[in-house]
Amino acid sequence: MRYGNRIQLGFSLLTALFLLATLFAVLLFALSPPTPAARGPLLLTAFVAILIGSLVFILLLRRWLLRPYRQLLGEAERAPIESRSRKSRDEGEFVLETFQSVVAQLQTQRKELEQLSAQASERADSAVRFSERIVASVPSALVAFDSSGRSMVINAPGRALLEFEGKALGQPVASLLHNIPQLAHMVEECLQTGKLYRREIIQTVAPNGTTRRLGGTIAPIDLSPDRGGRGALCLLTDITEVTELREQVALKRNLESLGEMSAGLAHEFKNAIATLHGYVQLLQIQQLDEGGQSAASSLLNEVRNLSEMVTAFLNFARPQPPQLEDVSLSDLIQECVAELETFYDERRVELIVIDQTASLTQVRADERMLRQAILNLLRNAAEAVPDDKMERRVKLRDLREVDREGHEWALVEIEDSGEGIPQSDLQRIFIPFFTTKEKGHGIGLALAHRVITEHGGTLTASNRPPAGATFTVRLPVSSVS
């Protein structure tokens, strides 16, 4: 064995000699025979044996004590330290220098790891902030649910669309979407089976009773391991206005086609009715008994009613181009109210006018055509109140609003206290000859819809909870108002 540390070697030899002298003295004292002649060989033999045993013991003790040091020295020799040599160095200095270099490298690597960790943390925070900005900037409503069906992400448009009061995050599907049961069913189905719903049209009823249509996509998403399972992502857009405009355009095209196709037929009917009217009048001047006169009068009334219906249909089928001018909408409404005052008194219906525009709203319109449209709507509202209804009233609101593009619109809301319109009939009430009244031709609402549409506006109908219907006229405000 090579020793690089001479001090340790000298200390070991001195220790061995000390132990040997001690043992020799003990044995000499204990085993010496009483005669000096016999004591010499025995002491020599004991001395040799003790010396050999002490050396073996010292070697084994050193080997055991220096085993960790040898292991440390071997690790130091295998350490990847550049530019080092231990030929003229002490082993202790070599080990110390080696481990100092290793510690220095470890500290350098620790600093590098800290820098890498800080960079990774910064990138993770930046990714989270970027994701949050993306979610916040999405114009559509975005709602995400975890595997247990609780909301974990919802942006501002989503909160506005759902109209949920209180804390929205962490709410279960049934609670968050209680106003939209169709959507709640789709989300639960997506969570359970992973089913994808693409561009679905979802109908819901707003708190004010109006029907809304939502365009929605519900897709399954894979969550992070800590959340586990499968989640669901909802993208929702309010397409009520787009759908209504699409339906109104389709209705307008259908009505135009119907008018062109049936105008000629209606003209022929009118000629035939005029002939019948002349024959009935001729019949009335004949010498008839009381029963004949009564029958002739009834026949004349029916012919007149039929003539009025055909005339109204001709006006609808072959409309005259509107003569546009600046019209005060408030003054026009007051004229309509005054004209229908007797009719409302006969129906025992109270007409309440609420003007919130300070009588300043003007629209570009054909005054005669617009007056006829509003008269039809007010007359229909009064007729929609049943005779046995306790609450008998019609409210007319004159409003103004500004859309997202900054355009001003005049709104006329006519709300009755009747029974409302069946949901299945809401999309058909503006079709000619469709009516829910026992006495009626089904032309008034169709004519009013066509007039409002020709003026660049819209006419919509909705139910008002708990009962009654609301017709809303929307017209562009004149630039001079």
The C-alpha atoms of residue 32 and residue 39 are separated, in whole angstroms, by 5
Burial code (b: 16+ CB inside 10 Å, e: under 16) for 349-376 equals bebeeebebeeebbbbbbbebbbbbbbb
Query: Nearest CA to 384 among 342, 435, 420?
Result: 420
- pLDDT beyond 80 at 272: no
| Better-scored residue on pLDDT, 473 or 125 | 473
Length of the chain: 481
Give the pLDDT of residue 50. 65
The C-alpha atoms of residue 255 and residue 317 are separated, in whole angstroms, by 8
Spatial contact of 269 and 180, defined as CB atoms under 8 Å apart:
no
Q: Which of 121-130, 328-337, 400-409 has the lowest mean pLDDT?
A: 121-130
Radius of gyration, alpha carbons of the chain = 51
- pLDDT beyond 50 at 472: yes
Q: Please enumerate in sequence order all residues whose Cβ is within 8 A of that of 213, keeping only pairs 6 or more positions apart, or say none.
A: 201, 202, 203, 204, 238, 239, 240, 243
- pLDDT beyond 60 at 10: no
The C-alpha atoms of residue 215 and residue 213 are separated, in whole angstroms, by 7
Give the pLDDT of residue 388. 84
Structure tokens at 369: 């055509």
With cut-offs at 50, 70 and 90, classify the pLDDT of residue 374: very high
The C-alpha atoms of residue 22 and residue 347 are separated, in whole angstroms, by 138
- pLDDT beyond 50 at 266: yes
User: How many other C-beta atoms can be found within 10 angstroms of the C-beta atom of residue 303?
Assistant: 19
- pLDDT beyond 80 at 148: yes
Give the pLDDT of residue 138. 67
Average pLDDT, the chain: 76
Q: What is the pLDDT of residues 214-232, one digit of tens each?
A: 888 888 888 766 666 788 8
The C-alpha atoms of residue 177 and residue 169 are separated, in whole angstroms, by 12
The C-alpha atoms of residue 182 and residue 156 are separated, in whole angstroms, by 22
- pLDDT beyond 50 at 187: yes
| Better-scored residue on pLDDT, 50 or 413 | 413
Q: Please enumerate in sequence order all residues whose Cβ is within 8 A of that of 289, keeping only pairs 6 or more positions apart, or say none.
A: none
Give the pLDDT of residue 78. 66
Q: Which of 31-35, 177-181, 234-238, 454-458 has the lowest mean pLDDT?
A: 31-35
Spatial contact of 360 and 480, defined as CB atoms under 8 Å apart:
no
Q: Which residue type, as a one-letter code, is found at position 319?
A: P
Give the pLDDT of residue 354. 85
The CB-side HSE value for 125 (13 A sphere, CA atoms) comes to 6
Spatial contact of 314 and 263, defined as CB atoms under 8 Å apart:
yes
Q: Which of 79-93, 117-131, 160-174, 331-345 has the lowest mean pLDDT?
A: 79-93
CATH hierarchy code of domain 138-238:
3.30.450.20
**In the chain, where the domains are located:** 6-65, 138-238, 244-317, 325-476
Give the pLDDT of residue 139. 72
- Sheet-wide strand order for 211-222: 151-154, 141-145, 230-238, 211-222, 197-205
Give the pLDDT of residue 2. 44
Q: What is the pLDDT of residues 191-211, one digit of tens each?
A: 888 888 888 888 877 766 667
Architecture of domain 325-476: 2-Layer Sandwich (3.30)
- Parallel/antiparallel/unpaired status of strands 325-328 and 362-365: antiparallel
Give the pLDDT of residue 450. 82
Q: What is the pLDDT of residues 39-61, one digit of tens each?
A: 566 556 666 666 676 676 677 66
| Better-scored residue on pLDDT, 314 or 185 | 185
